[in-house]
Structure 1
């Protein structure tokens, strides 16, 4: 099936019309606060309250070296991420910092994953097999909260 395209004077097929419609729909930005992000933020708040997250971290802070090592790795990961965002992108205007400095993203990813493993090991004795679920919910809640800010 073909259609006349009045703006270009040519004929277009139904497939190309559907493709162009799909492309136009993808270009529309999603709202920052949607059901998905609200769900993760509320779930993170509920989990924080229900498992007494901050008291548990405080009680295990001095007893577990895994928690300290995970915190150090998380600090390294966040430092590299802030270096990329604040210094390279905002201050120097380098938008493609991963192309100019290709090792930054893998280092940040590796240290973040290693910190997650350390946190799981440190808190396993508290929540057992619920530990990965609790930490993942906290992670998603923080990510969605940060996405609301910018």
Structure 2
């Protein structure tokens, strides 16, 4: 009889832990009853247009204009063309992988958490982009010397902020 009683108590305890586990997996505790806290209700997403986004876009546009960026890239003979071409190819691969993730996996297939489904995509894309930035720094170093990483970083941030405002 005591064995049956212990088994019944064990079953009750097991059911209780199972119920608590389901609530934890759903992110709801026993006393919430599906209601959000006042903090959760008040949290709003950050606006797309903000001061630091505008700063980076204006800084990138200003550098592009005052350095005559595209003309220098097309005409200047001191650019190491082999490294520049490697950088262009790596940047194209990086952008292709990013577009694959955003356009195809997220929008077309509806996979919101593509980094969980395809865990290698984000590190590969990041590594390819870092290799591209290193190639561009090596290629453009003869033109702008010590300012090359700063110029390229500003250009990158400006494009990134512009894309984030559009998307």
- Tell me the TM-score normalized by structure 1: 0.81
Please point out which of 14, 27, 44 is paired with 1:28. 44
The structure that is strand-richer by fraction is: 1
- 1:94 maps to 2:111: yes
- Which 4+ runs in 1 deviate beyond 4 A? 20-25, 60-63
Q: Offset of 1:143 from its aligned partner?
A: 0.5
Q: Specify which of 69, 74, 77 is matched with residue 91 of structure 2.
A: 74
Does residue 40 of structure 2 align to residue 40 of structure 1? no
Name structure 1 gaps, 5 residues minimum.
Answer: 1-19
The aligned counterpart of 2:27 is none
Q: Which has the larger radius of gyration?
A: 2
The question of whether the paired residues in 1 share the 8 Å contact of 2:80 and 2:139 is answered with no
Alignment check: 8 A CA contact 2:80 2:140 kept = no
Count of residues in Structure 1 that have an aligned counterpart in Structure 2? 130
Task: Find 1:103's aligned residue among 120, 124, 131.
Answer: 120
Q: Which runs of 5+ in 2 are unaligned?
A: 1-36
SS at match of 2:73: helix
Residues 60 and 158 in structure 2, CA contact (< 8 A), matched pair in contact too: yes
SS at match of 1:56: helix
Give the superposed CA RMSD.
1.8
Q: Distance in 2 between matches of 1:34 and 1:89?
A: 25
Q: Tell me whether 103-112 or 59-68 shows the greater mean CA deviation.
A: 59-68
Q: Is structure 2 residue 70 aligned with structure 1 residue 54?
A: yes
The answer as to 2:135 corresponding to 1:118 is yes
Match of 2:164 in 1: 147
